[in-house]
Each structure stands twice: as structure tokens, then as C-alpha cells.
């Protein structure tokens, strides 16, 4: 990720000022995936809906600024994992994630709307973003907000933030249909500066203290472990025992298809002297 941002900084000096400019906007739809403490093997077994809207301003046929607003449904279940420890841990979550990202986009090939010669290009992009999420889990056939239960021993008022900064980056392909319309295929990865998208990050708390602080349902949500032969002979939820890995923040990504409309250069007319 750092290397990608460094490459953007180097390429910025090559920005061409003599080519096609203008605004474009469109919508994307596809499938989203979560990667974190409940999906350490990068499984793609729990896709969710991913939709988004994009606005670009093309400085040239190589460089654009981009504003992206997105919604992604993410989820993960330990019982889908190939890792026996994770199967024994037996946690799960789901979350609606809303984010906004502002950054730069670079076309590898010259790209001019309506051109018969330069009508397609692969591209890369990098953005800073802000993301909002709310992890939930099912308890007694009801989906509840996990943050409210302090599952890792958080005191009331000391819960983790559900709005986080991060970076968005990825690759795509643009292909013109005609002068105004183009189709875009895009892989958009989001790296959060937060490890609680899934409500899992550190260690199990003292369960007696958690029950006193938050109630018995908090204990049931914190430690849902089951016994698996060869992994554990009792539940895993001992105080201080590994529940998640706080060294790696959570990520999610989407593979999407988009339709984009080019408005052209919408500069105000010059009302100078006649």
C-alpha cells in the first residue's frame, strides 16, 4: 500500500496538461468480501452486496481525481474456516459498511472519450477514506449490536469507534461504449485503521467481570467456543487468552461492474470583451 502511494507521487509529475478534460459520474454494483480475524484464510465464501457511486474529474487522458461513495454488506463465520482453532472459537458477525473516499486515478494508456484509437485502458487508484460500520451477531434468533455488549471487556463509554479512517486502492478497466457512456470493471480494496469491523481484536476478558458489567448475554456473545477434539477440551474463553490479532487491522474489498456517463468539460463560458 505504501509503495502504491509512493508510485502515485512519482507519477504525479508526469501529468499531461494538453489532453481531454471533463466530469463523469456513474454507479457500480457487485460483490463485497471481508478479510480479518474471522477470515484469516482469505475465503470468498460469504459475499455480500456492494454498490457505489463515483464522480471523476479528468485532468487529462491519464489522470483523474475521484470521489467514491459506497455501501458493502460484509460477514464471516468461524464455522466456515479451515482453521481448527477458529472453528472452536465459533464467532460470527455481519455489518453494513458505508464509506466515502477521495483520491487520484491513473490510466496506464491514453484514454479519450469517443476515440476509435484510445477507447479503453486499465487503471489504478488510491484514496483516503472514512468508513462507518456496525458489527452484529445473532443471539436467540435476534441480530444484536455487538458494540453494546463490550465483548472484550470494554467499559461503558469506552467502546471502540464505529467510524474509522482508512485507505482505498485498487485496479480497473475502462471501456467506451460511445462518447458519453463507458463501462468500468473494478477491484476496490479498503484497509481500515481500525480492528473492530468484526468486533474481534484482542483477548477474552474476565467473564465474571463482564457479566457484572454488561449482563449474561455479553458473556454468551464474547465466548461462543465449542469443543473440538485435538484443539480444546474446554471452552476457549479464559481471561487473557487469544481472541483476535490486534496487530492486523480489518479489510474489505469489492469486485464491481459500473456504468459511467461523461459530461465533458463543464467550464463556465468566457464573458470577456467582444
* Per-residue pLDDT at 18: 45
* Per-residue pLDDT at 232: 76
Q: Report pTM.
A: 0.87
Would you put residue 149 in left (φ > 0), alpha (ψ -120 to 50) or beta?
alpha
Q: Is the pLDDT of residue 167 over 50?
A: yes
Contact 219, 206 (CB under 8 A): no
Q: Is the pLDDT of residue 10 over 50?
A: no
DSSP string, 131-160: EE---EEEETTEEEEGGGGTTT-PPTT-PP
CA proximity to 225, closest of 216, 213, 212, 234: 234
Specify the CATH architecture of the domain 2-138+159-196+247-264: Beta Barrel (2.40)
For residue 208, what are the contacts with CB-CB under 8 A and spacing of at least 6? none
Domain boundaries, the chain: 2-138+159-196+247-264
Stretch 32-56: mean pLDDT, rounded? 96
User: What percent of the chain has a predicted confidence (pLDDT) above 90?
Assistant: 81
CA proximity to 187, closest of 141, 140, 248, 125: 125
* Per-residue pLDDT at 65: 98
**How far is 215 from 64, CA to CA, in rounded Å?**
52
Higher pLDDT, 44 or 9: 44
Contact 256, 50 (CB under 8 A): yes
Contact 50, 33 (CB under 8 A): no
Each residue's pLDDT tens digit, 111-165: 998 888 999 999 999 999 999 999 999 999 999 999 999 999 999 999 999 999 9
Amino acid at each position: 500500500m505504501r509503495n502504491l502511494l509512493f508510485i502515485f507521487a512519482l507519477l504525479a509529475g508526469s501529468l499531461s496538461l494538453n489532453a481531454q478534460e471533463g466530469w463523469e459520474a456513474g454507479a457500480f454494483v457487485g460483490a463485497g468480501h471481508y478479510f480479518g480475524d474471522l477470515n484469516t484464510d482469505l475465503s470468498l465464501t460469504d459475499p455480500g452486496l456492494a454498490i457505489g457511486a463515483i464522480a471523476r474529474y479528468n485532468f487529462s487522458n491519464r489522470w483523474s481525481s475521484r470521489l467514491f461513495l459506497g455501501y458493502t454488506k460484509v460477514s464471516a463465520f468461524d464455522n466456515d474456516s479451515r482453521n481448527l482453532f477458529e472453528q472452536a472459537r465459533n464467532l460470527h458477525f455481519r455489518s453494513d459498511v458505508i464509506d466515502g473516499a477521495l483520491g487520484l486515478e491513473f490510466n496506464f494508456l491514453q484514454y479519450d472519450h469517443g476515440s476509435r484509437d484510445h477507447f479503453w485502458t486499465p487503471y489504478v487508484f488510491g484514496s483516503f477514506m472514512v468508513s462507518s460500520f456496525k458489527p452484529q451477531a445473532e443471539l436467540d434468533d435476534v441480530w444484536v449490536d455487538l458494540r453494546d455488549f463490550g465483548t472484550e471487556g470494554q467499559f461503558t463509554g469506552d467502546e471502540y469507534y464505529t467510524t474509522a479512517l482508512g485507505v482505498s486502492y485498487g485496479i480497473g478497466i475502462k471501456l467506451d461504449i460511445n462518447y458519453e457512456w463507458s463501462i468500468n470493471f473494478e477491484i476496490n480494496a479498503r484497509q481500515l485503521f481500525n480492528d473492530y469491523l468484526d468486533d474481534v481484536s484482542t483477548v477474552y476478558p474476565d467473564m465474571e467481570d463482564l457479566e457484572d458489567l454488561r449482563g449474561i448475554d455479553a458473556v454468551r456473545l464474547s465466548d461462543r467456543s465449542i469443543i473440538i477434539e485435538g484443539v480444546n477440551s474446554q471452552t476457549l474463553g479464559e481471561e487473557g487468552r487469544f481472541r483476535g490479532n490486534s496487530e492486523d487491522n480489518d479489510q474489505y474489498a469489492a469486485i464491481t461492474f459500473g456504468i459511467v456517463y461523461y459530461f465533458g468539460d463543464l467550464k463556465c463560458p468566457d464573458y470577456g470583451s467582444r
